[in-house]
DNA sequence: TTTCTATACCTCGTTATACAAAGTATTATG
DNA sequence: CATAATACTTTGTATAACGAGGTATAGAAA
């Protein structure tokens, strides 16, 4: 998928992935893969960003003698999803215009 | 509107604006304003990009003793719009996921 | 044993893009 | 005479995606 189109979408996809249950980097990449490709060098900075704005939290746990960093969504994170969905109406108008409908349509 | 969400959208909006009839920088900004805000320092680099990939052409014309640079969409430009619309199906699946539907829904 | 694959984390440098700010220049309005 | 509107353009900054590379363990294949 177009790199530019992904901007602003990936953060929300990661948050949506954590909505039902906590997860960790490697699993997030694999779970999202069928829907949207996200590389490691893209995901880890995203997780850092989301931590900084407290949209997620993290807890390291041992699994098979190895450390895994689990991420949990916060209320702020859920709110971000809601805001995004709210804004999406405007994007749909833009797409409608691009597809050939009138602006005031 | 979210800056990141605009990326990849603005180029196509400009092309869509030129689909019916040629136009010039100042008018494009004003015509798109109700739909999507686009500043001068954003539009002019976009027009340059579109010229480089031959998605548009330009012709300077005199209007009220002043030079206006008119831009016309090309077949390549129209093709870009079509490709974008084709790709949009995937984005809609992603939004569906973000809104809370299942990936395989 | 060695090599490859899978698991699991992270960073650096490059590239693309949006945009504020500033600059240039003319015409019309107050 | 000043301000707004018209019309173009460049410079510098911030944000984000991602290839390439690095670290480390475990299990399967050669």
Domain extents for chain B? 3-98
Share of chain A above pLDDT 90, in %: 90
At A31 the pLDDT is: 97
CA torsion A37-A32-A48-A20 (nearest 10°) is 170
Residue A105 has pLDDT above 50, yes or no: no
According to the model, what pLDDT value does residue B57 have?
97
Specify whether the CB–CB gap between A86 and A14 falls below 8 A: no
Q: Output DSSP code: residue B56.
A: E
| pLDDT (tens digit per residue) in B65-82 | 888 999 999 999 999 999
User: Which residues in chain B are closer than 8 Å to A45, comparing Cβ atoms?
Assistant: none
Contact yes or no for B14/B47 (Cβ under 8 A)? yes
B15 CA vs D7 C1’ separation (Å): 20
Contacts of A19 in chain B (CB under 8 A): 100
B102 pLDDT band (50/70/90 cuts)? low
Residue pLDDT, tens place only, A55-99: 999 999 998 888 899 999 999 999 999 999 999 999 999 999 999
Q: Which fold has domain B3-98?
A: Arc Repressor Mutant, subunit A (1.10.10)
Residue of A nearest to B95 (CA): A85
Would you place residue A102 in the very low, low, confident or very high pLDDT band (cuts 50, 70, 90)?
low
């Amino acid at each position: 998928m177009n790199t530019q189109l992904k901007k602003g979408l990936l953060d929300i996809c990661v948050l949506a992935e954590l909505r039902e249950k906590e997860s960790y980097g490697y699993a997030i990449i694999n779970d999202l893969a069928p829907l949207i490709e996200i590389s490691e060098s893209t995901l880890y900075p995203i997780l850092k960003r989301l931590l900084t704005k407290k949209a997620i939290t993290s807890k390291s746990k041992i699994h098979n003698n190895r450390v895994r960093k689990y991420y949990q969504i916060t209320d702020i994170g859920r709110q971000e999803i809601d805001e995004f969905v709210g804004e999406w109406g405007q994007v749909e108008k833009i797409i409608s215009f691009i597809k050939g409908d009138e602006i005031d349509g």
